[in-house]
Amino acid sequence: MIDYSPFWKTLQTSKETTYTLINKYHVSSAIIDKLRKNKPMNTTTLNDLCRILNCRLEDVAQYIPSDDDQAL
C-alpha cells in the first residue's frame, strides 16, 4: 500500500498549505482528497508535489506492505 502520511508531515514543515496548493499551484481538491485517503495517483502529480514542496519522493509517499495488496 502506498501511504501519504509523509506528505502531511512535509506540508506542515513547509510554507505551503492545502489552500496554497489548490489556489496558487492549481492542485485539485480531488488530489488533496486522494492524499487524505491514500488513494492511487499519477506519478506526474507526485512529481509536481515534490517540485512545489522542494522535497524528495520519500517525503511525500512511502510503501507499506499490506495483506490487502492485490496478488501478483
φ, ψ for residue 22, nearest 5 deg: -75, -50
Q: Domains plus CATH for the chain? A: 2-63 (1.10.260)
CA 19 remoteness from chain centre? 15
Rounded Cα distance between 19 and 6, Å, is: 18
pTM over 0.95: no
Find the DSSP H helices in 1-72: 5-13, 18-23, 29-37, 43-53
Q: Each residue of 7-36: pLDDT tens digit? A: 999 999 999 999 999 999 999 999 999 999
**Residue 27 neighbours by CB distance under 10 Å:** 19
Q: Are 1 and 53 in contact (CB under 8 A)?
A: no
> What is the pLDDT, as a whole number, of residue 47?
98
